[in-house]
Amino acid sequence: MELSSHTGPTAPTGKDVHISAIRFRPDKHLLDRLADVKFRVEGKVRQPLAAPELADTLYEYFETHDDISTREFARISHYAMSTSYRKIREYIALGELEPVPHASGHYRPTPGNFGK
């Protein structure tokens, strides 16, 4: 295990800041011992929803909610945040969602979509 600390300038301001990090680097002996270890995920693994399932899920969601945040979209779709941003942009391009004014990262269905 390695603990490092140094002072360095920040890019935007040029002011010195204290930077610290803890880094774990296994030695060759440990790496050799773990080479044949197989890891498995415990519990339920959630798969991202396919397009028809996502549309149904959004329809149900908008029955009780006026808008959806990107984080909530990621939660209900089982997508990563980056994929959620991309999917939301696709829905906006199709005219099915629109950004909520003055609410960054929130989107609502356009009239006639998702049961609204």
Q: What is the pTM of this model?
A: 0.60
For 18-74, give the DSSP string: EEEEEE----HHHHHHHTT------SPPPPPPPHHHHHHHHHHHHHH-S-EEHHHHH
Residue-number span of the structural domain to which 69 is assigned:
51-109
Domain annotation covers residue 8? yes
Q: What is the pLDDT of residue 43?
A: 67
Q: Picking from 13-17, 23-27, 53-57, 81-85, which range would have the lowest pLDDT averaged per residue?
A: 13-17
Q: Structurally, how many domains does the chain consist of?
A: 2
Residue 12: inside a domain: yes
Q: Are residues 29 and 57 in the same domain?
A: no
Q: How is residue 74 written in tokens? A: 């990621």
Grade residue 46 by pLDDT with cuts at 50, 70 and 90.
confident
Q: One-letter amino acid identity for 37?
A: V
* Statement to judge: residues 57 and 16 lie in one domain: no
